[in-house]
Amino acid sequence: MNSAEKIVVIATGNAHKVEEFNRLAADAGLKDLRFISAKECVPEGMPKVVEDAGTFEGNARLKALALRKIVPADYFVMADDSGLCVDFLDGAPGVETAYYAGPDATHAENRAKLLEALKGVPAAKRGAYFYCLLLLISPESREIIFDGSCHGFISENERDSGFGFGYDPVFVPAGYDKTFAELSGDIKDSLSHRGKAFAELTAYFRKRS
């Protein structure tokens, strides 16, 4: 690590997430910021955490604190938590988004359950938003939270052109008539909950450097 470089260890076992954060940092021109996975930092990787806090913030804190204990003190740690909140379902699936159709559910099963739950619900009542929360713990042990949301509605059927993951094929962002899975990655990054939370994080690191 050179003296200006800041290392952020991400509380995830998902290499795809680490890649995405590094891409967003490079796009933002943050050359001295480097995201690494827990596995790249400590041989045991991300500890198992039961995400039972009941809120996005609480779950992110559980993951970040578990990681803080095992990584070098001069590194930042960061945990993210995200999900989809549907108005007609009183905010569900929310913190259960990844497991909506069961503990081992696939993305396809989760989407099918959601479309079934909204069967026959008129367009005006299909409002929903994606939410993303990033919880950072600095080397000085300060906790900082960044978040972002993206409002839109749930389509009646899946629409996919090969982009996206998770609930992308059933989520249409406000102002568009295409689902996230039909829009390009660049458009999604500019609108998405994760993109907005990341912009706040970027602003924080710009001020720090």
167 binds ligand IMP (CB under 6 A): yes
# binding residues, ligand IMP (CB under 6 A): 16
- Beta 127-137 vs 33-37: how paired, if at all? unpaired
Compute φ and ψ for 52, nearest 5 degrees: -120, 20
182 binds ligand IMP (CB under 6 A): no
Among 61, 81, 134, 155, binds ligand IMP (CB under 6 A): 81
Residue 97 or 155 with smaller CB distance to ligand IMP: 97
- Beta 127-137 vs 76-86: how paired, if at all? antiparallel
**Distances, alpha carbon 145 to alpha carbons 18, 64, 107, 157, 167, in Å:** 18, 12, 27, 35, 24
Among 148, 166, 173, 195, binds ligand IMP (CB under 6 A): 166
Which residues are designated catalytic? 81
Task: Give the whole-angstrom CA distance, residue 96 versus residue 59.
Answer: 11
152 binds ligand IMP (CB under 6 A): no
Among 37, 155, 179, 192, binds ligand IMP (CB under 6 A): 192
Q: Which residues fall within 8 angstroms of residue 138, CB to CB, at 6 or more apart? A: 76, 144
Residues that bind ligand IMP (CB under 6 A): 80-84, 97-98, 107, 130, 165-168, 180, 192, 194
